[in-house]
Amino acid sequence: MSGQKLRILALHGYQQDAASFRSKCGAFRQKTKSLADYVIIDAPLIIDGDSKKRGWLYENVEASASDSPEDPTGLQSSLDAIGDAVVKEGPFDGIFAFSQGASLACLLLHFLEKPHPTYKLNPRVNFRFIVCVCGVEPRSHQVATPIEIPSLHLIGKTDQVISPERARAFSRLFKNPEIFEYDGGHHVPASGETGNIIRKFLTNFLTAK
């Protein structure tokens, strides 16, 4: 449908929440406002008892297992949160994911292509593309085969949290990943050439609506 914007689900990083991420990715959203609308949701896992520090996967699985033995990594809770967002706010065209949000997103997309016997997805969950910023491989789950969905990976050349090497390794979980390395660290970029790369990638899917 010509003229319609993309609708994108945005997933924040570890120890962030929707409100803080909305501020951190403000320039990114401004750069692409003519192309897309973003729905930013809270991760369901609360870190260290602080509701403003949230995550999609527990980093300390051993500690969390005593609280949630059936879902020690928190993965099913996060998959359920995505399903709820799709039902209430969707459908979505794509995902925009930062840091640990990208870890969760890659597992979600992997399970969409290769259903898992344990982890379940809402049947309404479906996406056409993903944009990952400072993505990192999940620690507790493996992605055995490359994910087919089109992907753009933005990697900070001076990222001290997720090194460029780790972010490149993450991109190889996807088939034919599009990669751009920007001048900067662990943040959401939008200026200069980065903004042009993002807009070009999103436009491919806008014209296909």
Give the span between the Cα atoms of 21 and 15, in whole angstroms. Answer: 10
- Tell me if residue 99 is catalytic: yes
Catalytic-labelled residue, pool 99, 103, 151, 171 = 99
Q: Which of 64, 78, 159, 171 is catalytic?
A: 159
Q: Crossing angle of helices 100-113/164-171, nearest 10°?
A: 10
Among the options 37, 116, 141, 186, which is catalytic? Answer: 186
Is residue 78 within 8 A of residue 44, CB to CB? The reply is: yes
Q: Confirm whether 140 is a catalytic residue.
A: no
Backbone angles phi, psi at 150, to 5 degrees: -60, 140
Would residue 12 show up in a list of annotated catalytic residues for this protein? Answer: no
The residues assigned a catalytic role are 99, 159, 186
